[in-house]
Amino acid sequence: MAEIPQEKSAMLSLKEMSILSSIVGAAVVMAWRVREGRTAVTVRKIIIPPLGMATGFCMFLVPAFRIPWAWAGCAFLLGATVLAYPLLRTSRLVRSGEAIMMQRSNAFFLVIVVLAVIRVGAHSYIDRYVDVRQTGALFFVLAFGMILHWRMRMYYEYRQLTSMEAVQSAN
């Protein structure tokens, strides 16, 4: 009996959608950072992104996304130390009159692009060993560690700048 050739589905595979979403996500982050850099930084603008991102931990309610605790810990630590470092080095808060603004070095967007390339490459490699949903979970935890460390540093810098303002106005 002859086999009927099957047409390739027009839909993207889960792996292809994951890579595409990583690329689109990087582009959105870059656009958001440009827009965000034009307005004053507030405590709310520092704290809301990690809080909003934390809702993603709900994915672990679905068994297919669950990963071992050791993997999650390693991913979080890798994000919070190694991958957060370039973001910490290429951005800082500065006082501009009465406002506190984000000042980025020229390398900031290059860092975002390089991190996106690393993510896509690592995704493709890790997908060979674990399910694409677990890969997504690992990269979510990694990204959360990265943004949490970066935003905590921003908050610390913000508090330093606002406390300096209070001291200067008291004198």
Residue extents of the structural domains in the chain: 68-171
Residue-level pLDDT at 8: 52
Residue 69 has pLDDT above 90, yes or no: yes
Q: For the chain, what is the mean pLDDT?
A: 84
Residue 61 has pLDDT above 70, yes or no: yes
Token match 């690393």: residue?
A: 118
Per DSSP, the three-state class of 99 is: strand
Residue-level pLDDT at 3: 54
Q: Mean pLDDT: which of 10-19, 41-50, 112-121 is highest?
A: 41-50
Token match 């704290």: residue?
A: 47
Minimal CA–CA distance to 108: which of 94, 121, 89? 89
pLDDT in tens, 134-168: 988 998 999 999 999 999 999 999 999 998 766 66
Residue range 8-32: mean pLDDT, rounded:
73
What is the rounded CA–CA span in Å between residue 131 and residue 62?
A: 14
What is the rounded CA–CA span in Å between residue 47 and residue 150?
A: 11
Q: For residues 110 and 74, which has the higher predicted lDDT (pLDDT)?
A: 74
**Residue 170's Cα: distance from chain center in Å?**
39
Side chain identity at residue 112, one-letter code: I
Residue 4 has pLDDT above 70, yes or no: no
Per DSSP, the three-state class of 157 is: helix
CA atoms within 13 A on the CB side of 78: 16
Count how many residues are written for the chain: 171
pLDDT in tens, 88-134: 988 889 998 889 998 877 787 788 788 778 877 887 788 788 888 89
